[in-house]
Amino acid sequence: MRIICTNIVTGSYSKVLTLQSKKGKGLVLPGGKWEPGETFVECAKRELEEETGLKATGCELVFWGVNADGHFVYAFHTYTSNMTPLKETKEGKTCWSTWEELINNSSYKAFYELLYEAFQNRNAFTKLQEVVGV
């Protein structure tokens, strides 16, 4: 099973940073494959910089689970000091999208619906982590 770390970078007007995938997946959140030897936070930060040019200043885990491709995903609410991503990288063109745009224009629709729900309820998720000791 592949491990994926993905980033939710929020901007103004409730928009999230997305990429128009060059791999035919539609809109996607920046993220990618975890490499042995790095933490999941390090992976999320590395992928954000590779795919958008932005440097993360912090990450908060908001979800973990399995996506439709059978990959285990760690999703982080990621903070940056600079909110101006590169216009395009080898992964795709960057753009700010609403959650609705992301969900409706991605091949990962069901997963992003679940992730949106988790993101909206992240305070409850943090409390759950404290209760179960994760």
- How many whole angstroms separate alpha carbon 7 and alpha carbon 76? 5
Q: Which residues pair with 27 in a beta bridge?
A: 20
Which of these CATH numbers, 3.90.79.10, 2.60.40.10, 3.40.50.300, 3.90.960.10, describes 3-83+91-132? 3.90.79.10
The pLDDT tens digits for 9-43 are 998 888 999 999 999 999 999 999 999 999 999 99
Give CA–CA dist 100/98, Å, rounded. Answer: 5
Model confidence band, residue 134 (pLDDT cutoffs 50, 70, 90): very low
pTM (two decimals): 0.88
Q: How far apart, in whole angstroms, are the C-alpha atoms of residue 27 and residue 21?
A: 6
- Domain definitions of the chain by residue range: 3-83+91-132
CA gap 38, 95 in Å, rounded: 28
48-86 per-position pLDDT tens digit: 999 999 999 999 999 999 888 889 999 999 999 988 999
